[in-house]
Each structure stands twice: as structure tokens, then as C-alpha cells.
């Protein structure tokens, strides 16, 4: 305690007299093994190898200052935040996949329709007969001919049927050509023979297969998470064009 009019200098950090608080406080003593490792001829430290921390990093009694632990509520919040799963990305826009599904389904339906009757004719399901050309218009791929088909067994006669595969020298009116039809309700007689009969259905069904692959790709069926769900999605995408093709084949029988 100061006596009389004497003024005592106070340390601003701790509030204690300057002479009562050491400037440095040891916090970690050097071990014996470390002292033994000093190079030969080096004098030992005056303070015995102690490490002195600044007064701002220790309490007035020499204990190091440590941060207070966070309260339990904040600790739990940090733990929950650390364990929380990452935010899932937003789902993709379904509009492009839906548009691709509609467009590719219509394209597959068209080519399945134009390939159904030629397919049955190519595999042998046909009624042979003779078609008499009435008139033809256009030329090449744009040629359109109509005529009258008469079955060889005399079971039916079809008037005004479309005639496909008409040769270049056989499109004159009144020309009789051997032809085939799937039935009296087919509406189209085919006069082509040989490899040409297969070229009428094979490209169309290949386009249907391409549309099926496009539906699987653009609708994201192959990217559905989970093996079981992905199989169901791909099966549904493949089943659509397949059912359309089977329906037209049944109708053309």
C-alpha cells in the first residue's frame, strides 16, 4: 500500500503495480533432453531455457490466456451445421424433355405407320394379284400412281388403290403389273420386287429405333438415380415407340 503522497505506477493491462507484476512469465520449460542437445561450447541460457510469453498472453498469475468455450447452444448449432447435408441442386427443367418426348413419339408413329404394310409384304404375308394403272402424276420420288388391284384368287377387287414401286416404263394408263397387297383394306398395292421390298420398311424401322434412343437420352431416363428406378424409366421410354409400332403392325395385318 502506498504511504503519504507517494504515487505508484500501475500496469494498464492487469491493474496491478508495475513492480508486482513480472514483464514476462514462463509457460513452457525446456526439457533436460533439449538442454543436452545444445552444441558444445555454447553457454546455457541465463533463464534456464525457459520460454517467456508476453504479458498480454498470460494472466497476472502466469497462466496462459485461453479462449472461453462456446456455449452449449452455439456448440450444438455449429455441430448441426457441420453435419447438415449439402444443398441438393434444383431439379432440371422438364419442358425440354417433354417436348422431345412428344416430337420423337410423333416421328416414330409416322415411320411405324408407313413401314408396317411393307414389313408384312417382305416377310410373306401378302395377297398376290394384278394392278392396272389408271393414272400417274409426278416423277421419281414424287411419282404418285393409282390403279385397280385384282387378287389372283378372285376374292376381292380394290379400286383406286395407291400403287408403289411402279417402274419407269410401266406408268402409262392401262398398264398391268404384278403386285401385292396385305388385304382388301390396305389401300396400297406394291409392284416392286427383289431388294426393293425390303427398302420400304427397313429404313423406317431404323428411324423408329433412333427415336427410341432419342427419347431415352433427352428425357433423362438413363440418368435417373438408383438402378431400379433407372431401369423402370428406361423401360417406359422404350415401351412407348415399341407399342406404337406393334399397334400399326397389328392394324396393317
Q: Tell me the per-residue pLDDT of 60-90, one tens digit each, with 9 for 90 and over.
A: 666 666 665 555 554 555 555 555 555 666 6
Identify whether 248 is part of a domain. yes
- Cβ(180)–Cβ(129) under 8 Å? yes
Identify whether 153 is part of a domain. yes
Identify whether 188 is part of a domain. yes
Identify whether 152 is part of a domain. yes
pLDDT attached to residue 27: 46
Identify whether 17 is part of a domain. no
Task: Return the closest-CA partner of residue 170 out of 206, 131, 205, 213.
Answer: 131
Tally the domains of the chain.
Answer: 1
Identify whether 12 is part of a domain. no
- For residue 162, the enclosing domain spans 94-252
pLDDT < 50 stretches in the chain:
1, 27-30, 74
Identify whether 61 is part of a domain. no
As a whole number of angstroms, the distance between CA 12 and CA 213 comes to 80
Q: Residue written as cell 429405333?
A: 209
pLDDT attached to residue 3: 52
Identify whether 210 is part of a domain. yes
pTM of the model: 0.55
As a whole number of angstroms, the distance between CA 166 and CA 188 comes to 12
Helix (H), strand (E) at residue 128: strand 127-137
Alpha-carbon Rg for the chain in angstroms: 47
Amino acid at each position: 500500500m502506498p504511504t503519504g503522497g507517494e504515487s505508484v505506477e500501475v500496469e494498464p493491462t492487469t491493474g496491478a503495480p508495475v513492480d508486482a507484476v513480472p514483464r514476462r512469465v514462463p509457460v513452457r520449460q525446456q526439457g533436460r533432453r533439449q538442454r543436452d542437445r545444445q552444441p558444445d561450447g555454447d553457454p546455457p541460457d541465463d533463464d534456464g531455457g525457459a520460454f517467456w510469453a508476453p504479458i498480454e498472453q498470460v494472466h497476472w498469475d502466469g497462466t496462459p490466456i485461453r479462449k472461453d468455450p462456446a456455449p452449449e447452444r452455439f456448440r450444438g448449432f455449429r455441430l448441426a451445421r457441420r453435419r447438415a447435408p449439402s444443398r441438393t441442386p434444383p431439379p432440371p427443367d422438364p419442358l425440354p424433355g417433354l417436348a422431345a418426348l412428344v416430337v420423337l413419339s410423333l416421328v416414330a408413329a409416322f415411320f411405324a405407320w408407313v413401314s408396317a404394310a411393307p414389313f408384312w409384304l417382305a416377310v410373306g404375308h401378302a395377297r398376290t394379284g394384278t394392278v392396272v394403272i389408271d393414272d400417274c402424276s409426278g416423277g421419281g420420288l414424287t411419282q404418285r400412281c393409282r390403279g385397280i388391284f385384282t387378287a389372283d384368287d378372285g376374292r376381292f377387287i380394290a379400286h383406286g388403290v395407291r400403287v408403289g414401286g411402279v417402274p419407269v416404263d410401266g406408268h402409262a394408263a392401262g398398264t398391268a403389273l404384278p403386285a401385292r397387297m396385305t388385304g382388301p383394306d390396305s389401300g396400297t398395292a406394291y409392284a416392286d420386287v427383289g431388294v426393293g421390298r425390303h427398302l420400304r420398311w427397313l429404313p423406317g424401322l431404323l428411324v423408329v429405333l433412333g427415336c427410341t434412343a432419342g427419347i431415352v437420352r433427352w428425357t433423362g431416363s438413363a440418368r435417373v438415380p438408383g438402378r431400379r428406378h433407372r431401369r423402370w424409366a428406361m423401360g417406359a421410354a422404350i415401351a412407348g415407340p415399341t407399342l406404337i409400332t406393334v399397334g400399326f403392325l397389328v392394324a396393317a395385318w
